[in-house]
Amino acid sequence: MAQKDVGNDRVRQGISLIVAAVFVLSLVDAAVKYFSARLPLWQLFLAVACLSVPAMGFWAIGRFKAGRLEIGSIRWVMARSILLLLMWISYYAALPFIPLSVAAVAIYTTPIFIALLAACYGGESLSRLGWSAVGVGFAGVALVLRPGADAFSPATLLPVIGALFYALAMVVTRRHCRNEHPLVLALGLNIAFLVAACLGGLASLAVSKAVAAQADFLLSPWQPLGREEMAFIVCYAVALVFINTATARAYQIAPAALVGTFDYAYLVFACLWGYLLFQEIPDLFTWGGMLMILSAGVLISCAEEKP
C-alpha cells in the first residue's frame, strides 16, 4: 500500500510539474513574440546563456568536487540539448509571422511524432487505435495549416518541424537521460544556447541587409537593451531553467504518455495569452484542428496504456 501511495505521489508530482512548466512556457513564448521586433533571437540566447551558464556551472562544479553529482552520458546530454535547441529555433522563428495559437497547435503534434518514433526507433508496435490517432492528428494539422490555401504561410511549417525535434528530445530523455540530474540537463541546454548564439551572432554580421530583412528575428543587427528588455532577459533566464528542469523531471518520474497528455494545457494557455496580449482569436479551422490534435494525443495515450 505504501509503495502504491509513493507511486501515486510521483505521478501527481509529475502532472503538477508539467502543468506548471507549460503555464510558464506559454507566458515566456508570448513574451518572446512581443519582444521579437526589438530583440533578435541570438542576442536573447546569448544574454540568457551568459546569465544561466555561469550560475549553473558553479553549482555543477561544487557538486562534482563534493562527489554528489555524476553525468551518466555526456553524449546523450549533448544530443538532447541540440535537439531542444533546434526545437526552440524552429518555434521562435515562426512566432513573428503567425498567431500564437496556430504555432501552439502545430508544435503540439509532438505526441504524434513520439508515437511514430517509438514504433520506429524504440521497437514498439502501434495498435490500430494508435495508427488511427496518428491519422487524426495529421488531419488536424492539415486543417490548421491549410497548405495550398491563400492563408497558408510557410512559417506555419516551422513549429511542426520543431515538434519533431521536441519529440526526439523527449524520447532521448526517457531512454537515455532519465537518471541524469535535471539541472545537468538544463545546463547542457544553456551551453547549447551559448554556442548557437555566438555562431548566430557571427552569421548576422556576415549576411547582407537584404538577406537579414528576410529573417529579421534571426539575422537583424543586435540592438541596445533598455530596462524592459533587460528585465525580460533576466525573467526568461530564470523561467528557462525552471521549464527545462520541471519538464525533464516530469518525464523522469511519471509515465511519458500521461505527462504528454497534461502537456496539452499549453494550448489553453497559449490561446489565452494570444487573446489578451495580441487580440488573436483562433478561427474555426484552428479550433477544429486543435480538437483533432488533442483527441489524437488522448487516443495515443489510451493505446499506449493498453496491454
Instruction: Tell me what pLDDT residue 151 has.
Output: 58
pLDDT at 212: 57
Q: What is the pLDDT of residues 137-193, one digit of tens each?
A: 778 877 777 765 555 677 788 888 998 998 888 888 877 887 787 778 888 888 898
CA angle 216, 218, 222 (to 5 degrees): 80
**Alpha carbon distance 11, 16 (integer Å):** 9
Q: DSSP letters along 26-46, please?
A: HHHHHHHHHHTTTS-HHHHHH
Residues 19-67 have pLDDT tens digits of 999 999 999 999 988 888 788 888 888 888 888 888 888 877 877 777 7
pLDDT category of residue 299 using cuts at 50, 70 and 90: confident
How many structural domains comprise the chain? 1
- pLDDT value, residue 305: 53
Phi, psi dihedrals of residue 198, rounded to the nearest 5°: -65, -45
> pLDDT-derived band of residue 304, with 50, 70 and 90 as boundaries?
low
Domain encompassing residue 42 = 2-305
* Spatial separation of the C-alpha atoms in residues 106 and 190, rounded to whole Å: 25
For residue 293, pLDDT over 50 is answered with yes
Q: Cα 68 to the chain's mean position, in Å?
A: 29
Q: Hey, what's the cell of 218?
A: 534571426
Sequence-ordered list of residues with C-beta below 8 angstroms from that of 134, at least 6 positions apart, any chain: 112, 115, 116, 126, 296, 300
